[in-house]
Structure 1
Amino acid sequence: MEDIDNGRWKDLDCLLLRPGNLVGENFEPGEELRSDLQEFAKVLVVGAGGLGCELLKDLALSGFKNIEVIDMDTIDVSNLNRQFLFRMQDVGKPKAEVAAKRVMERVSGVNIVPHFCRIEEKDIDFYSEFNIIALGLDSIEARSYINAVACSFLEYDSDDKPRPETIKPMVDGGTEGFSGQAKVILPGVTPCFECTIYLFPPQVKFPLCTLAETPRSAAHCIEYAHLIQWDQEHHGKPFDEDNPEHIQWIYSQALERADTFGITGVTYSLTQGVVKNIVPAIASTNAIISSVCALEALKIATGCSKSLSNYLAYNGTEGVHTGVTEFTKNDDCLVCGPGVLMEIDSCTTLQKFIDLAGEHPRLKLSRPSVMYRGNNLYIQAPPVLEEMTRSNLQLPLFELMGKVPKDSVHLSGTVITNDKKSTTTRKVRISFKGISDEVTDMDTAGGG
């Protein structure tokens, strides 16, 4: 069995068992490194769609044996053309569970734990267990959330230098048709997701007059149902793009409107794509970007080569072109940087803190949600999570933060720039007036 196993990992051994000129600073080749990779390295894959399926397969074949995957979606027929781990009999089942099962069936020795839930439902202890987080997402909001979680572990020393042991590495992949990107994020060292969020193109918007009076395409009918009819029929009820019943309602209304104007092409899949701004994926692009992300995860875990610095763009529209760009970290970033300082009283409630943050000139957030060390203190939406965290609003923030005299929280909310609304995350350093480290240490020691 040992000989078979050695033969199985011969390609991996070419990287891990011999020295090189491009290796990381602390790289020490040897069989022990391979054993440590397989025994101790723990990777979280966020998303089990087109890119996520490829990531699970590539990571398992690269020597990672301890993998977990989280995804809230179930398998749809439209997924089968590119999400290769799924079959027709899997339609309606959780993506994470089916993907984990299929990879474990084909790659012996790997253990993949699936989580069928929203990423917001996991607390800080869950995310703290992983050495690397690999993102296979199609949502800017979800990326921002995971980025905020990873950056919440980051601590700075007295010279505002990141403490290496608190850095939670991330590898972010994304595809759009025949184009894709891969990014290595080392919070505090390289740009985080928020530092380079400007790289994402603005979402396509349709004039309301066109939607209401002269729709000319299936997308116009869908957006009319989404932006106009939903509010008319539901009287302020928040629309949840991840709720299948809400998407089904939009689809039905759009189909009726399309029939009225003689427009064809409205499908459930297109409705999802328009509402969630999803660009159709190409299987080959997913495979290419996933291979880059898996290799970067291997580099981070073993130091067998220097990591990507720090953004790779792939374009397969006309020929094949890849280019690497080294973006610079934004020192004033309110997510991965030291953050905005706010001094408040220890009796300040969470609701009062949210009000103060909304008035702060540097934050400029409306309707913010609050996260502390990955734990959701208060979430504005969806309604079920808002209800679950509503009771925290009347509690002192000092108590909710575990009576820590100085620490950081993350706020995510809406900002308006050039008359355009967007969702973003801000980091706030909290200092409670009149409370020192010594006081809280004595309080803890006394058991009170």
Structure 2
Amino acid sequence: MRLPFNATDREILRLAVPAFLALIAEPLYLLADAAIVGHLGTPHLAGLGIAGVVLQTIVGLCVFLAYGTTAGVARQLGAGNLRAALTQGMDGIWLAVVIGAGATVLGVAATGPVVAAFGVSGEVAAHAETYLRIALLGVTPLLLMLAATGVLRGLQDTRTPLYVAVLGNALNVVLNLLLVFGPGPLPALGIAGSALGSVTAQTIAAAVLVRAVVFAARREGASMRPDFSGVLTAARVGVPLLIRTLTLRAALLLTTYSVTLAARSGSGDVDVDLATHQIAFTLWTFLAFALDAVAIAAQALTGRSLGAGDRATTRALTRRMVQWGIGCGVVLGLGLAALSGVLGVLFTPDQAVRDALVPVLLVVAVGQPLAGVVFVLDGVLIGAGDGRYLAWAGLLVLAVHAPATLLVGATGGSLVLVWCVLAGVFMGARGVVLVHRARSERWMVTGATA
């Protein structure tokens, strides 16, 4: 079956554009907190930075709640089992509650030792602990947002998560301003007010998303009670995706370590190299949001077409989405290359950092078309429920990338060379394992379950 060109492209755009806007809205929670807390003082901002790293790690590792749920719900939808799709979606939501509750209890209990591990001063540590203990109460709402967003994406709805993301961010800014500075009769709570405002906004946003899923479940007569076997199945499906995520984060952490190691082993300036690396990584992450939006569309469309038992459509969609990935990568790469000489001005007044940033950004720009293929095929295989292969592939890629980047660091290689390894070895190895899998038939399991 050959899909009409226009219809295919419109469907990809219908899912990808709102997904991209929602993705870039997510980091604004901490960005808004930083902008407001920064006016309290440098120690407050430093404390927020530590707490933010901890929170982002917890939530980042649980992204499988969105990915796994999207794939499972989309399959059931494609198979014509809307009620079963929503029942499976509720299992994912209950799993988010279980994980969130456990992470909150453990996190609050371990706040002191975790903050102390960063080795910061007493004042900074005090602010970090204050923020983190309150912000951890928002972990369950954040995970519920992931799970509910996964359900809605599986139902081919990426607009509702976008609207909620905009609402949540706007509410977060208002509450932070009110609670941090306490205008009028309100007490000024400082950094604690920032955490409380964020938790409140996250809770309201989670409630709106969950309500949308619950409303659909009631309409279709799907069970909303926690089902132990269903929740256990959702957890089991999530384990391979968790391993995949861990391998990705490990590779990025090793890259940062190699930057430091290379500067110390060679003749580089550690501060300049780390500052340059941070700016480049920030821009790389932003570009990844655009490519990940196409990957999210790939998850939803692949799951639906395989659920419907249509391999031909799945293959046609995959080819077209890969073309979209390459096209987006080329456009993003050309744009980044053209702006590489001026982007540094937006981030730093340090001319040494600006000069060091240009060649690194050119490396990032050259790697964007490959990144487009990698992101799309990753989304296709997630949508197909091929998590076990992605987990093993992630471990294999890490085994290839780790010695390469550590060798560059140990021999005092340049910052540009470290990024060449990331863009070439790491992304190249990911491309090889993903293209190899996509060209086979083993991942194209049809029916309501993978």
| TM category, shorter | under 0.3
Structure (1 or 2) with the greater strand fraction: 1
Which structure: larger Rg?
Answer: 1
Relative to the length of structure 1, the TM-score reads 0.23
Name the structure with the higher helix share: 2
Q: Which has the higher contact order (CA 8 A, sep 6+)?
A: 2
